Amino acid sequence: MSVPLLKIGVVLSTMAMITNWMSQTLPSLVGLNTTKLTAAQGGYPDRSTGVLPAIPEESWQVYSSAQDSEGRCVCTVVAPQQSMCSRDARTKQLRQLLEKVQNMTQSIQVLDQRTQRDLQYVEKMEVQLRGLETKFRQVEENHKQNIAKQYKAIKTKMDEIRPLIPVLEEYKADAKLVLQFKEEVQELTSVLNELQEEMGAYDYEELHNRVSNLEERLRACMQKLACGKLTGISEPITIKTSGSRFGSWMTDPLAPEGDTRVWYMDGYHNNRFVREYRSMQDFMTSDNFTSHRLPHPWSGTGQVVYNGSIYFNKFQSHVIIKFDFRTSSISKSRQLDYAGFNNAYHYAWGGHSDIDLMVDEGGLWAVYATNQNAGNIVLSKLNPNTLQIVKSWTTNHPKRSAGESFMICGTLYVTNGYSGGTKVYYAYSTNSSTYEYIDIAFQNKYSHISMLDYNPRDRALYAWNNGHQVLYNVTLFHVIRSEEL
């Protein structure tokens, strides 16, 4: 039972007790004998109970009822005839009783007012409590939702971190290997110092062999440190805004120290002029360049500058040409057998992008498709001097479904598109001849990628994005296994 109903019940019970007391006590106080009325006919008791005097002419007649419509006590008194003496003792008692009843009536009215006021206060408090209860329920639900969101975020982070555990274990082994190198170097240094003091203590040839062996192992270690698995791509860095919607730009990963020339090729067909900028700074801030005219127009945007020469696909053919900038002449050309060309197996964006040439830490590569492989990507390692195929790998990825691709450490990475939302989602490893689906975010800032290549010297991706020349830094995980050294 609620608090307001309990208050009303207490008031009604109090009124009923007062009425009952008055109906039993009032006649005795005035000296009346009570009798119960019965019906004149039928012998049924009357629905109301009353008290009558034995001699109506000489006595008082008193009736009582429980309460009126407002819950107050009501008494009905019939006075005796006027001939009765007003100074009778019973009259005095009745007057005193009436005063008491009036006092009780006033008290009941005061109590009723207080009860009504308390009832209003309780009702107001009940509304406030219900409001607080609703707010607490909302807070509890929001707390549960926040806990669920936090749990989901933590679980996502744990899923991202979990694959790093075996990598960290291998790093521990790598640290031991480096420590071993350090100890061997210290030992050889000590031996060389002693040798300077005492010639002939060690055989010179043996010592030279030990130094050469350590040098080779360190070189192999450094080469492996340059490679790793792609785990992240940074936000784009816009270097310049120039040219048409399609094109390519690059630097030479095998250029001598201090050579930072930039090579720039606008368009994807029917053009044969290559711009040479002296440095990245010149490319960013000026239009001072040297123009080189190629003997044939190129096809697509898959050109690459490597060790002082540019490699490109001759327009409307499956011929690869090596053009030497130093001599301004073709040093080698060769057909890429069975490769589709002239928009037969282009990237998703089109543009005669059938044959894509690229380089990584391992050398020169060609990405294309053939009828024999049902239009799926074929990956071939090329000899940069003869352009002969060293080895080929066939994949199960349709070339027309690829947005762009690039090579890092012998692994081909493919994007899922070239416009709008883009990510790197497919990787084929030539080291294990296996593929996997991945999910690496790639921000396509200007909504149309027509060229994407990796430069192993800069450890960066070069992109042509809708008339903007853009760079992306990459994050690689390096793993060194001692048995490979």
Selection from 308, 335, 312, 313 nearest residue 324 by Cα = 308
Determine the residue type at 127.
Answer: V
Residue 128, Cα to own-chain centre: how many angstroms? Answer: 39
DSSP secondary structure letter of residue 44: P
- pLDDT reported for residue 151: 75
CA distance 321 to 312: 6
Both tokens of 289, joined, read 């360049």
CA distance 82 to 65: 26
Phi, psi of 346 (to 5 degrees): -90, 170
CA distance 218 to 223: 9
The answer to whether the predicted template modeling score (pTM) of the entire model surpasses 0.85 is: no
Both tokens of 228, joined, read 């790793």
- pLDDT reported for residue 350: 94
Determine the residue type at 440.
Answer: I
- pLDDT reported for residue 239: 96
Both tokens of 217, joined, read 């192992």
Number of neighbours of residue 280 by Cβ within 10 angstroms = 16
Beta strands in 272-328 (DSSP E): 273-277, 290-293, 304-306, 309-313, 319-324
CA distance 482 to 51: 117
Number of neighbours of residue 454 by Cβ within 10 angstroms = 23
CA distance 265 to 273: 7
Selection from 356, 360, 312 nearest residue 460 by Cα = 360
pLDDT digit string, tens, across residues 236-284: 999 999 999 999 999 999 999 889 999 999 999 889 999 999 999 999 9
Q: How far is CA 189 from CA 181, 185, 195, 353, in A?
A: 12, 6, 10, 55
Does the domain formed by 230-477 have CATH 3.40.30.20?
no
User: Which residues of the chain are under the pLDDT cut of 50?
Assistant: 1, 3, 5-6, 30, 32-58, 62-63, 65, 82-86, 201-202
Could you write out the three-class secondary structure of 193-235?
Answer: HHHHHCCCCCCHHHHHHHHHHHHHHHHHHHHHHCCCEEEEECC
Number of neighbours of residue 376 by Cβ within 10 angstroms = 18
CA distance 312 to 300: 9
Selection from 406, 418, 427, 224 nearest residue 304 by Cα = 406
Phi, psi of 267 (to 5 degrees): 90, 170
- pLDDT reported for residue 358: 98
* Residue that has been written with the tokens 């698995």 in this structure: 229
- pLDDT reported for residue 243: 94
Q: How far is CA 103 from CA 13, 186, 206, 258, 285, in A?
A: 19, 114, 128, 114, 105
- pLDDT reported for residue 94: 72
CA distance 480 to 222: 10
CA distance 361 to 358: 11
Q: Sort 142 into a burial class: Cβ within 10 Å, 0-12 / 13-18 / 19+.
A: exposed
DSSP secondary structure letter of residue 255: P
CA distance 272 to 294: 5
CA distance 247 to 267: 5
Phi, psi of 171 (to 5 degrees): -65, -35
286 contacts: CB under 8 Å, gap ≥ 6: none
